[in-house]
Chain A
């Protein structure tokens, strides 16, 4: 049964690339057009996955499409990204992926070895994440109507015990945690496109964050208020969404935010903010202060979590806003990403 539709607030005359970039424009499209028509007048907060009740059993479901270009890049490729992306969306909404449905849209002319490599990468990622690929579909479009291959994965997950994720539960004084360095994936892709003639020794961080999430739940389950994997739009966009949903201020300490030197260097050069760059193997969490130390300890002891950090805290002000403070006493507002991050030259 579909709820009665709410008035549309989406006024843009046509779809632009920015509507898919994960920032402000994407949110406007979802909240202004999709949600009112599909979810009715009072949509639930838009998380990474939905919890659905089937005959008294709650499951988490989510879906994600992958259109990355180039198909493979240092540290990963579209196949394993498609598995881990959905596994991660489930993980940060407090669920363990149990089954995936995979849809391929292939461009006529795609060399079979390329497809085979990506399917192998998917199989390996699924094995590593302990998830079964249960069903699938394939469509082929004319040459030139798609960019080699697009992959959509839909995941069903079992809810993990001992955790409730709700932006409304976030309180003043809570700590903001980050699982590791940000920006690796986005900058790797930017450089792998080869349009910028920049080279750096950098790999995408793409991986399943489930082991880290499980470790966090074991150590700090009752203290966890919220989690999110900051993919497109970066950490700034995820935290802005949280700030808006809970009406509180997210104050970050710039010197505590882990960013690799190569990412920082590339961002300085290109005029980008690491907080706006996409990640595929990190997550943000808000935990109550008494659990913060235990949470960081647990993450640090889990493989891939050695650089986990408390990067900020929740304050009453600036309400609905992300504020970054610097060691030398300056501060700046960091908004959601507007459109795609574009390199700045002059």
Chain B
């Protein structure tokens, strides 16, 4: 398969891994991959088996499902239970638990819940069901926000009024800032998010290099992409430099995608603050729908309960999300909290570090500790 197989080429991968080993020498490096897609890739491709032990990868906050507070899910599902409402969301959302169960569990109880692959599919549902109201439960960073924006622009242009968006879009930069402000973080460098950067480009990361003196390399998602990004980070660290570099040039333009940014500017404005699960309230970290599009804003069209739910005390999602704890160091991991019965959202999404670790790694780690697999 083109654009995939060449980035999984065994010989190149082992050469690059060798290069990492050589560059890293005896020093311990802590690198954060910001994006949940990278977290998933690390486990799926077993990159930890390939990397030397002194390269420690810390999983960042870039999983939109994981950082969504449970209250927002409850709010969305409350609207879903209004008469003649179709609740449409990405597959990622379907198993995320609210206090009364996940969207999928609501579907089994008879609530009209549909999985869509894009916001425009939700708009299509609205066209096909003129006597129903389709509410799209929007999640995601700048990766998915432009398609939500374009869909709302189309709904407005076509005058489709039985459609609205419950907007949970968040922005990546304030989350990285919150991580860096956290006193218990000691990071050497960042693996920058690939998909988000296709929209925002590489410039928004410059402050990380200039003010925080941390190198950052925007990376692709194949094994070779990620290994190459680590090599680029090590070169910078060895030379005492801190720059923004773009490893994912085949997809990410340095200046981002102007058309996408323009669409976001047309429809959204920054919320003064927004709650992030595990991280708390972060100012100017999320998008709301601006007044020009109020008619398509579910939060304005419906009575929203505004539910706030605190995470179970024993769950240490925040510490895991910030990379302070490894998933298996949480008290609930693998016991009360499993992919079948997730308590924290990090266990739900396959991009969540707990689910990824649980699915791909933890039994292996236990067996390596016992010396039973090489």
Contacts and interface: CB of A to CB of B under 8 A. Distances in A.
A196 B117 contact: yes
Given A330-B45, A343-B91, A344-B350, A318 B144 contact: no
A58 B367 CA distance: 42
Given A196-B117, A342-B92, A332 B108 contact: no
Interface stretch (B275-283, B298-306, B356-364): B356-364
Given A329-B14, A330-B50, A332-B361, A195 B45 contact: no
A154 B293 CA distance: 56
Contacts of B372: 316-319
Contacts of B65: 346
A49 to B, nearest CB: 27
B95 A328 contact: no
Interface in B1-49: 1, 4, 8-10, 13-14, 17, 40, 43-49
A125 B165 CA distance: 47
Contacts of B48: 330
Contacts of B17: 329
Interface stretch (A68-76, A116-124, A155-163, A261-269): A261-269
A268 B44 CA distance: 12
A24 B95 CA distance: 15
A25 B340 contact: yes
Interface string A321-340: 10101111111111100110
Nearest to B339: A338
Q: Specify the main secondary structure of chain A where it touches its partner.
A: loop
Contacts of A268: 1, 4
A169 B117 CA distance: 45
A345 B92 contact: yes
Given A195-B115, A318-B363, A328-B13, A342 B95 contact: yes
Interface stretch (A13-21, A37-45, A144-152): A13-21
Contacts of B135: none
A243 to B, nearest CB: 11
A331 B350 CA distance: 17
A345 B49 CA distance: 27
A331 B374 CA distance: 11
B14 A328 contact: yes
Contacts of A53: none
Given A318-B367, A327-B10, A328-B223, A346 B340 contact: no
Given A16-B105, A195-B121, A318-B364, A345 B90 contact: yes
A109 interface: no
- Among A319, A325, A338, A343, the one with the most B-chain Cβ atoms within 10 Å of its Cβ is A338
Question: Interface extent on B, as a size class?
Answer: 35 or more
B221 to A, nearest CB: 10
B139 interface: yes
A271 interface: yes
Contact of B367 (A317, A329, A339): A317
Contacts of A332: 43-46, 359-361, 364
B38 to A, nearest CB: 13
A264 B117 contact: no
A339 B338 CA distance: 13
Nearest to B44: A332
A197 B360 contact: no
Interface string A134-151: 000000000000000000
Interface in B94-151: 94-95, 104-105, 107-109, 114-118, 121, 139-141, 143-144
24 contacts: A15-B108, A197-B117, A261-B1, A270-B91, A323-B364, A326-B10, A326-B45, A326-B46, A329-B14, A329-B49, A331-B49, A332-B46, A332-B360, A332-B364, A333-B359, A333-B363, A338-B339, A339-B104, A342-B92, A342-B115, A343-B90, A343-B117, A345-B91, A345-B92
Given A330-B45, A346-B139, A346-B195, 17 more contacts: A17-B107, A195-B115, A196-B121, A271-B40, A317-B372, A326-B46, A327-B8, A328-B50, A330-B223, A332-B359, A333-B363, A335-B359, A342-B91, A343-B90, A344-B350, A346-B141, A346-B144
Interface of A: 14-18, 24-25, 195-198, 261, 264-265, 268, 270-271, 316-319, 321, 323, 325-335, 338-339, 342-346
